Amino acid sequence: MRRRNHLLAPALVGLVALAAWEAVVRMEGIPPYILPGPILIARTVVADWGTLFPSLLVTLAITGAAFLVAAVLGLALAVVFTQSTFIERAFFPYAVILQVTPIVAIAPLIILWVKWIPLALLICAWLVAFFPVLSNTVLGLTSTDKNLVDLFRLYGATRWQAFRYLRLPSALPYFLGGLKISGGLALIGAVVAEFVAGTGGAQSGLAFRILEAGYTLQIPRMFAALFLISAAGVLIFALLTGLSRVALRRWHESELEPGD
Amino acid sequence: MTAGAPPVTPPVTPIVTLRGVSRTYPSGTLALDRLSLSVEPGEFLTLLGPSGCGKTTLLRLIAGLAEPSDGRIEWSPDGGARRLGFVFQEPTLMPWARVEDNIRLPLMLAAVSPAESAARVGEAIAHVGLEGFERAYPRELSGGMKMRVSIARALVTRPQILLMDEPFAALDEITRFKLENDLSSLAHRPRLTVLFVTHSVFESVYLGSRVVVLSPRPGRVAAEFRVDSPAPRGEAFRTSSAYLEACRQVSALLASAMDLPLTLAPSPSGGEGTRPTSDAT
């Protein structure tokens, strides 16, 4: 019952907002090249599916690849960083610098240096996505229950055993939290990089479709592409939330059913 | 041996002997001051002292989790590798692991064969009365049950000595009484050696065959008291006059131990003589 309300409430808000949007567009007679109504956008999604869907796949491929690399490398770097405070102190500031430098500013350079565009896009998306995994996992690996650490020492656990059976599982909720943030950021990174790259031809993603539609004043198609990007972002978030729930539901506070 | 040990003590080799052990924290605070103590096989030794007297530090030193700043900790030579079980103030369970996997942990770390560890885990679960909860996760258990898991995990290695650091302090009284009764019979059956730290006079007398009273920080042995009532003890003992009388005497020892630093203060060099002598019944 409660769960159904969780879905019902936002769905209702969405429906009301869409209806209001449609009503305003119709009553004010706003032309579609300024602001198309949701019905027209939905029709455009269907009508332009042949163009938009391949672009969606291109963007999703870059996003997915960047996300996977971010997850694997973020985890690996976190493990390396937590092996010694020297390594962490020496390298962590550079990870922060990479994170805080706006991707829009570095993307042109990366696209200039890396000749193969998909790889350049992947690097941009990865740069945006990897930091949450890194910082969250570092936090997780270093916030192990001190008594459990003592317990492992007491029973003569090797460094590897303490890592595999204590620190890694302790860090799992943090790692998964990092993934949830990274998933959305990978998509943003991919779209921003596509904007900067402005690739044309068969290998163009949704951002290029938006640019293209903007140039040719096909505003409904622009909105349709935008809608697909948002939908992809929501889908990624839902998938990662599901993953986190499956992995943690038996033991972690964050995934307990209400009233449990 | 501890100063003033009663003559009834049989001449047995202690499992572990602390000789003049001191421990200074990195901050410079002296936690333990030249503490000497020995634990004999099969005894249930309770360490009673106020908060902050270094009881936990003492257990950590014995467990090898910290090094004494001064003095020596000597183990009996027999038995080869020393096996000890440790029960913390909190249950300290791995939340992601089922009860049976939590209990199996020490065996898994020691690479004990699956068949052998299955048998030992089953035995430990039976000892603490956790049958039927093998597959449960810690969050599904009450505080008392979690503590039982923690005790089972400490027993699974069949330790020579069981170190317990105020394990029942956070439990409600009814649960605590039940766990104390169970621990008393548990320690009696295979004749476990237990070193049990507590700040409760009642608990120290109820469980202990010998109560060692520590002074406030820096901790040192202020007095000791032998509780002669046979183990295992049950609810009948809790209401007996022998128990209440022992509690009264231990309370008096603790009260004088609390004054100890004041009497020691003027003459730190010759402090030894001002200690109240141990009281044996």
Domain ranges of chain A: 49-249
Is 50 exceeded by the pLDDT of residue A118?
yes
Whole-angstrom Cα distance, residue B250 to residue B248? 6
Whole-angstrom Cα distance, residue B179 to residue B167? 10
Whether B102 has its CB under 8 Å from any CB of chain A: the answer is: no
**Residue of chain B nearest A248, judged by CA positions:** B96
Whole-angstrom Cα distance, residue A152 to residue A146? 10
Whole-angstrom Cα distance, residue B120 to residue B18? 31
Which one of A151, A153, A172 has the shortest CB-CB distance to B92? A151
Domain spanning A49-249, CATH architecture: Orthogonal Bundle (1.10)
Report the pLDDT value the prediction gives residue A162, as an integer from 0 to 100.
95
Which chain A residues contact residue B95 at CB under 8 A? Answer: 251-252
User: Which residue in B62, B83, B92 has the most chain A C-beta atoms within 10 A of its own C-beta, making it the best mutation to test that interface?
Assistant: B92
Given an 8 Å threshold on Cβ–Cβ distance, is A156 in contact with B157? no
Whether B138 has its CB under 8 Å from any CB of chain A: the answer is: yes
| A62 closest CA partner among A211, A194, A228 | A194
B55 token code pair: 């009881």
Is 60 exceeded by the pLDDT of residue A2?
no
- A89-115: pLDDT as tens digits: 888 888 888 888 888 888 889 988 998
Amino acid at B75: W
- A159-197: pLDDT as tens digits: 999 999 999 999 999 999 999 999 999 999 999 999 888
Which chain A residues contact residue B92 at CB under 8 A? Answer: 145, 147-148, 151
- A239-252: pLDDT as tens digits: 999 999 999 988 88
Is 60 exceeded by the pLDDT of residue A198?
yes
User: Which residue in A251, A254, A256 has the most chain B C-beta atoms within 10 A of its own C-beta, making it the best mutation to test that interface?
Assistant: A251
Whole-angstrom Cα distance, residue B261 to residue B215? 8
Tens digit of pLDDT per residue, chain B (281 long)? 444 445 555 567 888 889 988 898 888 888 888 889 999 988 999 999 888 778 888 999 999 888 898 988 888 876 545 688 999 999 999 999 999 999 999 999 999 999 999 999 999 999 899 999 999 999 999 999 999 999 999 999 888 899 999 999 889 988 999 899 889 888 887 678 999 999 999 999 999 999 999 988 788 888 899 988 887 888 889 889 999 999 999 998 988 888 755 444 444 443 343 444 444 43
Q: Span A56-76, mean pLDDT?
A: 95
Domain-by-domain residue ranges, chain B? 13-82+160-264, 93-159
Report the pLDDT value the prediction gives residue B263, as an integer from 0 to 100.
45
Mean predicted lDDT score pLDDT of chain A? 90
Report the pLDDT value the prediction gives residue B6, as an integer from 0 to 100.
52
Report the pLDDT value the prediction gives residue A95, as an integer from 0 to 100.
86
Q: Centre a 10 Å sphere on the Cβ of residue B240 and count the other Cβ atoms it contains.
A: 13
Whole-angstrom Cα distance, residue B59 to residue B214? 13
Which one of B84, B95, B105 has the shortest CB-CB distance to A252? B95
Whether A151 has its CB under 8 Å from any CB of chain B: the answer is: yes
> At A23, phi and psi to the nearest 5?
-65, -45
Whole-angstrom Cα distance, residue B220 to residue B222? 6
Are B253 and B281 within 8 A, CB to CB?
A: no
Whether B157 has its CB under 8 Å from any CB of chain A: the answer is: yes
Domain spanning B13-82+160-264, CATH architecture: 3-Layer(aba) Sandwich (3.40)
Which chain A residues contact residue B110 at CB under 8 A? Answer: 155-156
| B274 closest CA partner among B248, B37, B265 | B265
Which chain A residues contact residue B83 at CB under 8 A? Answer: none
| A20 closest CA partner among A9, A6, A2, A35 | A35
User: Which residue in A144, A154, A176 has the most chain B C-beta atoms within 10 A of its own C-beta, making it the best mutation to test that interface?
Assistant: A154
Which residue reads 């030249």 in tokens?
B34
Sheet of strand B221-226, all strands in order from the earlier edge strand to the far edge: B84-87, B161-165, B193-198, B44-48, B210-214, B221-226
> Which ranges constitute the DSSP H helices of chain B?
55-63, 99-109, 114-128, 143-155, 173-188, 201-207, 235-238, 241-264
